[in-house]
Amino acid sequence: MKFFIDTANLDEIKEAYDLGVLDGVTTNPSLMAKEGITGDDNVRAHYKAICDIVDDKVSAEVISTDFDGMVKEGKELAKIDDKIVVKVPMIKDGVKAIKYFSGEGIRTNCTLVFSAGQAILAAKAGATYLSPFIGRLDDISFDGLDLIEQIVHIYQNYGYDTQVLAASLRHTMHLIKCAEIGADVITCPLKVITGLLNHPLTDSGLAKFLADHAKAAGK
């Protein structure tokens, strides 16, 4: 399972990359705004800065909601760097744009996915990645993980190439369950990735090893 980090914060991206487990980055307009990045030139420069940190696969989201606007914007985003994946919302013109980008060899990430029907449409249009939002479904009392399981099953039935990119993860159990289900990729905040490190028996075991070593050395 690939790990993407869901942030536009350069320090967090560097920290995840330095850990050696990062396969890519996802952003969205809210995450860019959170970093105070506004204006087309600044947004593009920020995407370039992210691409300079990681090896590949940086999702950059279009703001347009009509086909022509999404195509124009997506092409401009794709020109920033070969690592860019154009993120397109799951709306009618978005599906058309995904089909267009697929024909042009531009990778896409279909975002704001909340149903199996939407997942089938995106796969048929040729999306490279599909982003179902687990946490936001959980927020309204639908089981987000059930949706991931359903989509993985459907994609396996037909051998779709679209990769299931589980998004809106809120905690480590979301990540572990996605691995059990067989999601291709997860994207999450840094704290979910670093949360995987934690176990009290690791901490107490290491403290004991170091204490025994010091004692034997007469320290």
Footprint of ligand G3P (CB under 6 A): 6, 26, 28, 131, 133, 135-136, 167-168, 187
Query: Nearest distance from residue 68's CB to ligand G3P, in Å?
Result: 26
- The nearer residue to ligand G3P, 135 or 195, going by C-beta atoms, is 135
CB of 152 to ligand G3P, least distance (A): 18
Annotated active-site residue 215? The verdict is: no
Contacts of range 136-145, beta carbons closer than 8 Å, 24 or more positions apart: 136/168, 137/168, 138/170, 144/168, 144/174, 145/174, 145/177, 145/178, 145/181
Quick one: CA dihedral 133, 138, 144, 145, positive or negative? positive
How is residue 199 written in tokens? 């176990």
- In sequence order, which residues have a C-beta less than 8 Å from that of residue 130 and are 6 or more positions away? 109, 110, 113, 119, 122, 123, 151, 162, 163, 164, 165
Residue with token string 């490190």: 197
Nearer to ligand G3P, 104 or 143 (CB): 143
How far is 109 from 126, CA to CA, in rounded Å?
Answer: 10
Which residue is catalytic, options 2, 34, 72, 87? 87
- Output 26 or 162, the one with its CB closest to ligand G3P: 26
Calpha distance 49→56 (Å, rounded): 13
E strands, the chain, are 2-6, 24-26, 58-61, 84-89, 108-113, 129-132, 163-166, 185-188
| Comparison of 72 and 195: residue with beta carbon closer to ligand G3P | 195
Q: In the complex, what is the shortest distance from the CB of residue 90 to ligand G3P, in angstroms, rounded to a whole number?
A: 12
What span, in angstroms and rounded, lies between the C-alpha atoms of 125 and 58?
A: 21
Would you say how long the chain is, in residues? 219
Nearest-approach distance from CB 58 to ligand G3P, in angstroms: 13
CB of residue 210 to ligand G3P, shortest distance in Å:
38
Q: Which is nearer to ligand G3P, 98 or 167 (CB)?
A: 167
Catalytic machinery residues: 87
